[in-house]
Amino acid sequence: MWKPVKRNQVFSPLEICILKNLAENDSQTINETAKAINKQYKSTFRIFTSLKKKGIIKKTTFKEHRGRKYPRYWLTELGIYTALIEGANPTTLLEKAVKTYPDNENLHLLLGMAPFTGIEVFRMAFSTIRNKGQLEQSDMDTIILTVAQRNLSTEQCNQFLRMLREHPDEYERVTEKIKRLAELLEKKGEVTNFTA
């Protein structure tokens, strides 16, 4: 069981460095990470232990070397949102996340929304996971509708809709909610013309 990240929790520079390194690479052993960031094994081990307790990283695979197995670590869903908030590249993270979490459609969708959202959406996702332990469907709907309210150019709107259509279940759910909202507003005389 991992400890949820506290509201006022601040990550140390070394924790951020390790987060960004993992975000840019496939899963790594502690030793591989220590070498990649030019730090001592002991300090890297201590930070890995801290990040595991916070639920930011987890064991994903094992590396065999000279007859021994060494665990490889990569980011959890919470760790991915943390890395994005800390400035990791969303495109690279999407590629890595699809390999590590092939069935997590919500994660793929949120990472695909990165060009339209900035980090606000990832802060919302981070906060939700920190408080609830997971993103529920209603949370995803809220996040998507929040993005839809932004001042996006026509081209950005079209790109956003194309990206959303790549996730048909989510697309159907969101358009249904928008249609119901439009019907409700129309009944109240607030809106006269709407197409989803």
The DSSP code for 5 is P
**What is the domain-level CATH number for residue 92?**
1.10.10.10
State the pLDDT at residue 39.
93
Q: Note whether residue 67 is domain-resident.
A: yes
Q: Note whether residue 179 is domain-resident.
A: no
Q: Note whether residue 157 is domain-resident.
A: no
Residue 4 scores a pLDDT above 50: no
Number of domains in the chain: 1
Q: Are 69 and 63 in contact (CB under 8 A)?
A: yes
Q: Note whether residue 165 is domain-resident.
A: no
Q: Are 93 and 84 in contact (CB under 8 A)?
A: yes
Q: Note whether residue 187 is domain-resident.
A: no
pLDDT digits (tens, 9 = 90+) for 18-58: 999 999 999 999 999 999 999 999 999 999 999 999 999 99
Residue 17 scores a pLDDT above 90: yes
Q: Note whether residue 39 is domain-resident.
A: yes
Q: Note whether residue 90 is domain-resident.
A: yes
State the pLDDT at residue 114.
76
Q: Residues 157, 158, 162, 164: what is their CA dihedral angle, to the nearest 10 degrees?
A: 20
Q: Which residue has tokens 């439009």? A: 182
Q: Note whether residue 6 is domain-resident.
A: no
Which strand (E) or helix (H) includes residue 162? helix 154-165
pLDDT digits (tens, 9 = 90+) for 121-150: 777 777 787 778 777 777 777 777 777 677
pLDDT digits (tens, 9 = 90+) for 153-170: 788 778 777 887 888 887
pLDDT digits (tens, 9 = 90+) for 75-104: 998 898 888 888 888 888 888 888 888 888
The whole domain housing 27 covers 13-132
> Whole-model pTM above 0.85?
no
Average pLDDT along the chain: 81
pLDDT digits (tens, 9 = 90+) for 52-69: 999 999 999 899 989 999
Q: Are 134 and 110 in contact (CB under 8 A)?
A: no
State the pLDDT at residue 100.
87
Stretch 102-129: mean pLDDT, rounded? 78
